[in-house]
Chain A
Amino acid sequence: LAKTTQPISMDSYEGQEVNITCSHNNIATNDYITWYQQFPSQGPRFIIQGYKTKVTNEVASLFIPADRKSSTLSLPRVSLSDTAVYYCLDTNAGKSTFGDGTTLTVKP
């Protein structure tokens, strides 16, 4: 199970766009790239998933380059409620390996 690498923490201000980058150095051909969000005392919650290029949903965008060795989660116009831990995963057959995540702190 491949483990990803991402920054330990990031700070931002309300209304800014936040980009969190993840390294997928050991990603396998069949793996998808998935991002989760976790608030204190709760289980992680699915944000977005992709295999290649760009994916966008109502919450975020996910950018994956052609070599798939990295991914970038983009959160537009963050608010205080976006303060959480964000995990990027290589997902294969549901056997997702969580790294230590990026703690995003949004300040007023």
Chain B
Amino acid sequence: NAGVTQTPKFQVLKTGQSMTLQCAQDMNHNSMYWYRQDPGMGLRLIYYSASEGTTDKGEVPNGYNVSRLNKREFSLRLESAAPSQTSVYFCASSATGTSTGELFFGEGSRLTVL
């Protein structure tokens, strides 16, 4: 049982380049999330998808777009990468998206923008 799988695990971009981070979960969860974590800090919510077909902004959505491709997959796109987007990105999923929803995280994608 793989849980939450993120690709790629590492990526280096130049300023202005674009890329997509992929996330897939095999737990049949309804809700999926993208967080970023800067060094020494907590996680900040970028976007989330409460259910298939819906997406909503989190705390720090600027510079990002998301797509909930199907129930399993939730992608995060950087259209024009900036050095300020250098971070570790975590995808997570939860069963119900309700107040009691436990978050299951992937291993993270480490992005460096030069």
Contacts and interface: CB of A to CB of B under 8 A. Distances in A.
Ranked 9 nearest A-B pairs via Cβ: A43-B105, A98-B42, A94-B101, A98-B43, A94-B97, A46-B102, A100-B42, A94-B94, A32-B99
A89 to B, nearest CB: 9
Contacts of A96: 45, 103
Interface string B53-70: 000001100000000000
A93 B99 contact: yes
Interface size class of A (residues with CB under 8 A): 20 to 34
Interface residues of B, number: 30
B59 A41 contact: no
A93 B98 contact: yes
Main secondary structure of the interface of A (DSSP, over half): loop
B44 interface: yes
B97 A93 contact: yes
A42 interface: yes
Interface in B89-108: 90, 92, 94, 96-108
Interface in A41-85: 41-46, 49
B53 to A, nearest CB: 16
